[in-house]
Every structure is written in structure tokens, then in C-alpha cells.
């Protein structure tokens, strides 16, 4: 009841009414040609449903007039794609036929009910109506005619609202996305979410590492009070900040969908930059790099760099400048990466539920590998195994 009272104030009521009346144009044109065959338009429009672009045109019109709040959305209830399968074509034919029937009902109500209102007004005014012109089922007394004047208009509103709801529901059923279209939209949405997740991890790893190094370096330089150490700390902060800015610029270019090629993502060939940054922060880094790291597949070497970056960032953030042992080996068929450091005094790294640790495991899983994080023989260990054969 509340929706019915609100209907005159909603613009979609009138756009749906217009959508219901549009097919009458075809019927009207045909009646000028052959008025004795009013049913012929139903046969004429049916073959048009077999044309792929007709579904596209009907979908655009339906979305524009029936569900304007979904206009421009790819996941709306009404599809705006051409027919690709015979199932879509048969549904389009059914839609065209049903739309003609609903148009006839809407047109009948639109013409007949306002005329009834006019006849009630004339009857109430005392004007006699010819028997052939009266559409009223009965001729009421003058006093009753004035009371009944709003009834046909209210009935017209009810008919328009109900037919509008019905045609919208039918359009969603017959012009809605097919199973193949839903699958395509789901795949596109999944790709979009995966890309956003990857970008979030990139920002977390890169910016988080840069800020951690900067904070530790600045604190150490202030506590040391040594101009030479302060100069080295400022150089490390500058180098780390510059690398973070390059990563940030690359990510922003992706977000803006710029046509310019993004900056080259860092790889394990640039691992020395991370190791030197950790050493500049006061950590003693024992690094062992073995194998042709520069020949690793792109996805493996890039994700391996991020895993190493996050592992070293966690060491500096939660443990401070402690000794770190790093081993990276490009073995036969896989890449082994291990970062070991003393356990922290607090429980920060013991839970294993941080977004950084989860991000390392997700990166490894996306490549078909695995990453383990947790206490091991009195130390904290991050170990990742990334396959090489399936990536090439």
C-alpha cells in the first residue's frame, strides 16, 4: 500500500508506463495498413528476435526505462549484450510477444479509464450521454458520479504500477544475463578483485618496508649522535624512500589505467638492495645467494623479492637490528627462500595472523608453492618454496 501511495512521486513509474506503451506504435502503424488483421504485428515482430542485436537494443531500452538505477552497470538484472546462443534468441522472441500483450493491456487502461473519468464528470454535471458513447458499466446518479470521479484514475495508477512491476520482472527473466554471461562477469569481477588484492599487497610490502627502515634509521641516528653514522642513515633512508616512490608510481599508473608502461618491478636480482638496507639499519645479515637468480621466471623472481622484502621488514619492525640469516637458492625445479632471525621478546610475530605473513603465503600459493612462517629451533623462520617448471 505504501509503495502504491509513493508511485505517483517516483519517476520510474512514468518511465515504465512509457516502456509499456512504446510497442503500440508498431500496432498503430499496422492498423493503418490493414485494420482487419490487428493480430498480425505479433507474427511480424517474432522473427526479429532471432537477430542478435535486437536483444541488445531491447536490453538497453529496458534498462533505461525499467531499471534506470542499474543503468551502466555490468552486473544488473537486465543484460545489455547481443544474443550469442539460440537460447538467448528464443527468450528474446518470447519477450517481444509478451511485451506486445502487456502493451495492449496498458493502452486499453490508459485510454478507457480516463474516458470513464470524463463521463463521470459529465454525468455529475447533468449532461446526458448517448447510449453508444458510454463506457461506464452503469450510469450512476449525479451525486454518486462526483464521488466516483477519482476511482478510474486510481485504478489506472494501480494498473500502471502492477504492469510496470510485471514487465520489469519478466524483463529480468527473459533479458537477464545468461549462464555464460554470468560466468564471464564473475570471471571479470574475480580478476578485478585479484588485481586489487595484488596492488594492496604491493603497497603494504613496499611502503611498509620503506617506512620501517626510515623509522629505525632515524631513531638510530638520533641515538648515536655520530655525524658519520647519521650520514649513512640518511643515505639509506633516501635510497629506500626513492625505491618506495618508484613502486608507488607504478601502482598508481596501474590504478589510473594509464597507457604509459609502468616502471619495472623489482626482482631477486635486486635482492642486494634489501640486504644492504637491512645492514644499514644495524642488522648483521648473513646472505647466501646461489643459482642463476637473474634467469628465474618473471612471476617467481618478482614474488620472491616481495616475500624477502616482507620478511626483512618484519625482522626490523618487530625485532630491531638483530642478526639475520638469508638463503636464496635457485635449485632444480624450484626456488628456495629462507630468512631466519632470533625470536622477539614480545608476541608480535608469534601469532602468525598478520596481513604481511598472510600475504607471503598468498603470494606463494598463487604460484603453486608454499610459504611457512613460525618458530623453528629457537628462531623465527620464513621459508618459501616456489616451483619453476609450471611457471615457464
CA dihedral 273, 279, 285, 290 (to 10 degrees): 20
pLDDT score for 16: 92
pLDDT score for 349: 46
Instruction: Please tell me whether residue 286 adopts helix, strand or coil conformation.
Output: strand
pLDDT for 64-84, tens place per residue?
A: 999 888 776 666 788 888 888
Query: Which of the four pLDDT bands, split at 50, 70 and 90, describes residue 313?
Result: confident
Measured from the Cβ of residue 255, the count of other Cβ atoms closer than 10 Å reads: 11
Length of the chain (residues): 392
Q: Closest Cα partner for 201 from 316, 341, 309, 317?
A: 309
Question: In what helix (H) or strand (E) does residue 90 lie, and over which residues does it extend?
Answer: helix 86-124
Instruction: Output phi, psi for 246, to 5 deg.
Output: -65, -45
The three three-digit cell numbers of residue 68, written as one number: 534506470
Cβ–Cβ under 8 Å, residues 21 and 108: no
Question: In what helix (H) or strand (E) does residue 242 lie, and over which residues does it extend?
Answer: helix 227-255
Query: Which of the four pLDDT bands, split at 50, 70 and 90, describes residue 122?
Result: confident
Cβ–Cβ under 8 Å, residues 109 and 154: no
- Top mean-pLDDT range of 18-32, 122-136, 193-207: 18-32
Mean pLDDT in residue range 198-218: 72
- Top mean-pLDDT range of 122-126, 238-242, 311-315: 311-315
pLDDT score for 120: 85
Pairing relationship of beta strands 334-342 and 324-331 according to DSSP bridges: antiparallel
Question: In what helix (H) or strand (E) does residue 330 lie, and over which residues does it extend?
Answer: strand 324-331
Report the C-alpha gap between 69 and 16 in whole angstroms: 13
Instruction: Please tell me whether residue 361 adopts helix, strand or coil conformation.
Output: helix
Name the residue with higher pLDDT: 247 or 296: 296
Residue 259 has pLDDT above 50, yes or no: no
Report the C-alpha gap between 68 and 38 in whole angstroms: 32
Name the residue with higher pLDDT: 271 or 34: 271
Question: In what helix (H) or strand (E) does residue 154 lie, and over which residues does it extend?
Answer: helix 150-174
pLDDT score for 72: 63
Residue 195 has pLDDT above 80, yes or no: no
Measured from the Cβ of residue 62, the count of other Cβ atoms closer than 10 Å reads: 28
Query: Which of the four pLDDT bands, split at 50, 70 and 90, describes residue 354?
Result: low
pLDDT score for 180: 66
pLDDT score for 254: 56
Tell me the pTM. 0.51
pLDDT score for 328: 93
pLDDT for 359-370, tens place per residue?
A: 788 888 888 889
Mean pLDDT in residue range 155-172: 92
Residue 212 has pLDDT above 80, yes or no: no
Cβ–Cβ under 8 Å, residues 307 and 384: yes
Mean pLDDT in residue range 326-333: 89
pLDDT score for 260: 42
Report the C-alpha gap between 241 and 244 in whole angstroms: 5
pLDDT for 5-55, tens place per residue?
A: 777 888 889 999 999 999 888 888 777 777 777 778 887 888 888 898 999
| Distance of alpha carbon 216 from the chain centroid | 39
Quote the mean pLDDT of the chain: 80
pLDDT score for 185: 65
Amino acid at each position: 500500500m505504501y509503495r502504491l501511495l509513493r508511485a505517483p512521486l517516483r519517476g520510474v513509474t512514468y518511465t515504465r508506463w512509457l516502456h509499456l506503451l512504446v510497442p503500440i506504435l508498431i500496432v498503430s502503424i499496422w492498423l493503418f495498413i490493414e485494420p482487419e488483421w490487428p493480430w498480425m504485428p505479433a507474427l511480424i515482430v517474432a522473427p526479429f528476435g532471432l537477430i542478435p542485436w535486437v536483444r541488445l537494443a531491447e536490453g538497453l531500452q529496458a534498462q533505461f526505462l525499467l531499471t534506470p538505477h542499474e543503468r551502466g552497470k555490468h552486473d544488473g538484472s537486465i543484460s545489455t549484450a547481443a544474443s550469442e546462443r539460440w537460447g538467448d534468441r528464443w527468450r528474446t522472441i518470447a519477450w517481444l510477444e509478451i511485451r506486445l500483450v502487456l502493451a495492449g493491456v496498458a493502452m486499453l487502461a490508459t485510454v478507457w479509464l480516463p474516458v470513464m473519468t470524463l463521463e463521470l464528470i459529465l454525468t455529475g454535471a447533468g449532461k446526458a450521454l448517448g447510449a453508444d458513447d458510454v463506457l461506464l458499466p452503469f450510469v450512476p446518479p449525479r451525486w454518486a458520479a462526483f464521488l466516483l470521479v477519482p476511482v478510474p484514475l486510481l485504478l489506472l495508477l494501480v494498473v500502471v504500477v502492477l504492469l510496470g512491476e510485471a514487465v520489469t520482472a519478466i524483463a529480468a527473466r527473459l533479458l537477464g544475463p545468461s549462464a555464460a554471461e554470468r560466468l564471464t562477469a564473475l570471471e571479470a569481477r574475480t580478476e578485478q578483485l585479484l588485481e586489487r588484492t595484488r596492488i594492496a599487497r604491493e603497497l603494504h610490502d613496499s611502503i611498509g618496508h620503506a617506512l620501517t627502515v626510515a623509522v629505525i634509521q632515524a631513531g638510530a641516528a638520533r641515538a648515536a649522535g655520530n655525524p658519520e653514522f647519521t650520514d649513512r642513515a640518511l643515505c639509506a633512508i633516501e635510497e629506500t624512500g626513492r625505491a618506495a616512490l618508484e613502486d608507488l608510481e607504478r601502482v598508481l599508473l596501474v590504478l589510473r589505467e594509464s597507457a604509459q608502461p609502468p616502471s619495472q618491478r623489482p626482482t631477486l636480482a635486486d635482492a642486494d638492495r634489501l640486504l644492504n638496507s637491512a645492514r644499514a639499519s644495524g642488522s648483521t645479515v648473513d646472505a647466501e645467494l646461489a643459482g642463476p637468480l637473474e634467469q628465474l621466471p618473471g612471476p617467481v623472481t618478482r614474488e620472491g623479492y616481495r616475500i624477502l622484502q616482507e620478511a626483512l621488514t618484519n625482522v626490523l619492525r618487530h625485532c630491531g637490528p638483530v642478526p639475520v640469516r638469508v638463503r636464496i637458492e635457485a635449485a632444480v625445479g624450484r626456488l628456495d627462500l629462507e630468512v631466519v632471525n632470533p625470536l622477539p621478546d614480545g608476541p608480535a610475530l608469534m601469532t602468525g595472523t598478520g596481513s604481511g605473513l598472510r600475504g607471503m603465503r598468498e603470494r606463494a600459493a598463487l604460484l603453486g608453492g608454499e610459504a611457512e612462517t613460525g618458530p623453528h629451533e629457537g628462531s623465527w623462520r620464513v621459508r618459501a618454496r616456489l616451483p619453476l617448471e609450471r611457471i615457464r
